[in-house]
Amino acid sequence: MGSLNDAFIAGVAGGLRRYHDKHGAHAAGLVVTMPISIRTPTDPVGGNRATLMRFEVPADIADPAQSIRLIHEQTTMQRNEKSLAYTQFIAGALNLAPRWYVGSALRNVDFVASDVPGLPTPVYLAGAKVRMQYAFSPTIGAALNVTLLSYVDTCALGINADTGAIPDFDVFYDCLVAGFDDVLRLAT
């Protein structure tokens, strides 16, 4: 049991597990920063109502179904975190903190991941049908940011990697594809 977002995170974690393995490193868990919606039924339509949450996801599980289940448990806990109601206050306080302090708090993030719902129906630009959309987001201090953007019935990934942390992007890309292939095989 899990959501599209849980499967997405499992695909990224599976790719990162493979990448670490290729370099002789073991990663039992990886710290992800992920936007969590804080929209309430009383909020007006439109605009962003999200905050960033940082938590660990398993990276050493080869079974994608088990990985999705565990990630679902983690993301559910984050979505029900009591501090979500205070994120605007916390953000305001962090704006008063010295820049070095805020930067040091963000150093222990392995990757950033975001699942963005896109347009559910086809759109046209100057009469031409848009075939796909991609979203690219900043790494904000992490080694990697992977953004999933859906369009009609397809999902696309925008990948932004820090080449200082991932110097062999072609190897990483192959590992990421294999991680998502594992997840996608669950649908067959």
From CA 111, how far away is CA 175, in angstroms rounded?
15
pLDDT per residue as tens digits for the range 103-147:
666 667 889 999 988 999 999 999 999 999 999 888 888 899 999
pLDDT per residue as tens digits for the range 33-88:
888 777 778 888 877 777 778 889 999 999 999 999 999 999 888 877 776 666 66
Pull the structure tokens for residue 47: 């605009």
Maximum separation of any 2 CA atoms in the chain, in Å: 51
Domain positions in the chain are 4-111+167-185
pTM for the model stands at 0.85
